[in-house]
Structure 1
Amino acid sequence: MGLFSILNYLRLKVIVTFIRLIAKWQRRRLRAAQPGPNKKQISIPSRDPGRFIEGYLYTPPETPGSPANKKKPILVNWHGSGFVVPSLGLHDVYCARVARDSGINVLDVDYRKGPEAPFPAAVHDTEDVLKWVAGQGDQFDISRVVVSGFSAGGNLALVAASVLRSSFEELKLQIPMAIAIYPVVDITVEPAQKVVPKPIRPIPAFLARIFNDSYTPNPESRKDPRVSPALADPSSFPGTVVIVTCEGDTLAPESNALAERLKDGKRKVVHKFLEDVGHGFDDFCREGSKAWEQREAAYGLIVHTINEEFGHSG
């Protein structure tokens, strides 16, 4: 690593540390609602000896008349982070809702962040989690695995569902459905060019550059579809794709374009465009607010689509 690279890393490290402190303070001040009792923390082995990927497993409540030994599908979720902020557990409400209302297992998992662990570290963790799930065929129905994510996590979910999907076939793991909520899909586009007519608390261009530089210090890597899933071959995506975008989010245009590109008659594409809300609107919203109403609409649509795919009983 040259002197310039070292100085750039130290610059990013200082800025990201400050961002993490602010995010931690916000989460303490605005604590997300905690889910019910069907949640446990787990540690998943990674490809690196002695290193584990942390996660939370949500199991659905038992329904009267359902076979006790019937294996249920599983949804694997990756949290939002800008690829730099530790936020495991941020989407408790979503994970608990899906487990309860869809009757399937939900695994909310962590991944490594930049600048300490740039691309492809997060993608490797994504692969390792899904390989672990593939080895749990006695516990989950690995022929019905949904991948899901928010923001940067939505990026990882789309990468898992497109570029990486075929690599799991020999492990008997199948991904028939992907869900991406206000995802990052094209990092090749300069952040200042990402604009919308009615921005709502948009991600500042300078901050987006910090995120991009921390995750992909080599700009050439941004053309890799494992970084920018909008560049993946549309035929590589699964049979059902759900994309949720927000009117006030500067990331919406690229995700809207991806949703349209996937509507080629070969798959079911559910594209929900939410008005009057911005990026991360659902993280800490008050009951009765516009953000809360849109959160209920988005989560309800996701649950409905899962139930259509698998049946409510799982």
Structure 2
Amino acid sequence: MPSLSTLRSKTQHLLLILLAKTLRPMVVTLARLSGTPKATPDSIEYVPVNTNNTTDHTIKLHTYTPSSSTSGEEPRTPFPVLINCCGSGFVMPGQGLGTDYCRYIADTTGHTVLDVGYRLAPEHPFPAALEDVAAVISHVLSQSAKYDASRISIGGFSAGANLATSVAVNYFPPGTFKNLVAFYPVLEASIPAATKIASVSEALRKPKYGGMATVPVLAMRFFQACYVSCVEADLGEEGCVRSEGLAGLCGAREVSGAVLARRLREERRGEGGGGKEGDVVVVRVAGCGHAFDKRVKAGSERGEVKMEVYEVVAKFLNGW
């Protein structure tokens, strides 16, 4: 007979699923009304994930291929690849939110960009999304005629940056990825949501150009509960993300984009080579909040900042 704690956990899980399914259509509708652009990939692919020789589920990929209009020549295969993990809070459908970013990177860098539709919590809590991203990478590595295995980069936005960073550190050997690109990454879950927001300065609470200074406390708690609470008994002391490299990067208590960069530099120095200028690049976007590049009016100051940052990423991917 199930214990009281088990029944309580299952009940909580069911309630989280019900709430997530209620909120998702509302969030999608609000996004459309606020001007979120429709995704325009060149193709859509479904990558099968097999378990015991049967297809367990498929992963939806939006594929953006380089345009010949930029160079005047037809792009040559195998392509360098950027695997992009959308923002979602691990819960909300986010695939397609970065369509303009994916298109820009494909057309300006010659990379094929794969926008990953990973599984969402609470129906599929940790580590389902990580496993999906890892499965996409394995798929890319198996397509040597199509994708250049020596030029695979990975990145993402918000929760997607968490997935990209964790997969890069934990799932594949060093040297698998040429670059890691993390936009406003969410890299820890050990600090309470209220504590995070209390530590944000007044100036950042009202971003000049827009975007969220912080995700609201209730939303942060909800996302975290959906992603890890149902499996927290199996997580151990380190929390939702374990890490061998980068000095315990994802299990650390105070991890931001700046701290991520510092630890990357420390890791480089620890390898003995010291790295080179440009190996680790931090772009601080003054006056902009979380998700600053989403739902931006063309020609606005925020739109100009957005494209400046995208340009930095493009140069970074192409080795400056």
Secondary structure, counterpart of 1:234 in structure 2? coil
Aligned counterpart for 1:130 among listed residues 137, 157, 164: 137
**Secondary structure of the residue that 2:50 maps to in structure 1?**
coil
Q: Please tell me whether the aligned partners of residues 188 and 255 of structure 2 are also in contact (alpha carbons under 8 angstroms).
A: no
* Structure 2: runs of 5+ lacking an equivalent: 207-211
Question: Quick check: 2:80–2:147 contact (8 Å CA) kept in 1?
Answer: yes
Task: Pick the aligned partner of 1:52 from 58, 62, 86.
Answer: 58
1:159 pairs, out of 166, 170, 189, with 166
How far 1:9 sits from its partner (Å)?
Answer: 1.1
Secondary structure in 2 aligned to 1:260? helix
Deviates more, 1:40-49 or 1:25-34: 25-34
SS at match of 1:257: helix
Q: What is the aligned partner in structure 1 of residue 209 from structure 2? A: none
Deviation of residue 252 (structure 1)? 9.8
For 1:233, the equivalent position in structure 2 comes to 245
- Decide which moves more: 258-267 or 53-62: 258-267
Whether the 8 Å contact between 1:196 and 1:253 is mirrored in structure 2 is no
Moved more, 264-273 or 149-158: 264-273
Matched, 1:90 2:87: no
Q: CA RMSD in A?
A: 2.7
1:86–1:284 Cα change, 3 Å: same
Is contact 1:32–1:92 with CA below 8 Å preserved after alignment? no
Q: How does 1:134-283 map to 2 (within 5 A)?
A: 134-166=141-173, 174-194=176-196, 195-197=199-201, 198-200=204-206, 201=212, 202-217=214-229, 218-219=231-232, 221=235, 224=238, 227-228=240-241, 232-234=244-246, 254-264=256-266, 265=269, 266-267=274-275, 268-283=279-294
1:295 paired residue among 306, 311, 314: 306
Cα offset, 1:27, TM superposition: 2.3
> What CA distance in whole angstroms lies between the structure 1 residues aligned with 2:12 and 2:155?
32
1:26 aligns with 2:37: no
- Structure 1 gap ranges (5+): 238-250, 310-314
Q: Which has the larger radius of gyration?
A: 2
**1:39 partner letter:** D
Q: Give the drift of 1:45.
A: 1.1
Determine the C-alpha separation between the residues in 1 that align with 2:237 and 2:289: 26
Give TM-score scaled by structure 2 length: 0.81
Q: CA deviation at 1:102?
A: 0.5
2:67–2:75 Cα contact (<8 Å) kept: no
Question: Structure 1 counterpart of 2:193, which letter?
Answer: P
What is the aligned-residue identity percentage?
29
Report if the CA contact (8 A) 1:162-1:232 is conserved: yes
- Equivalences, count: 288
Question: How far off its partner does 1:178 sit?
Answer: 0.5
Cα pair distance change 1:286/1:69, threshold 3 Å: closer
Matched-pair contact (CA < 8 Å) for 2:86–2:98: yes
Closer, same or farther: CA 66–19 of 1 in aligned 2, 3 Å:
same
> In the alignment, what sits opposite 1:43?
46
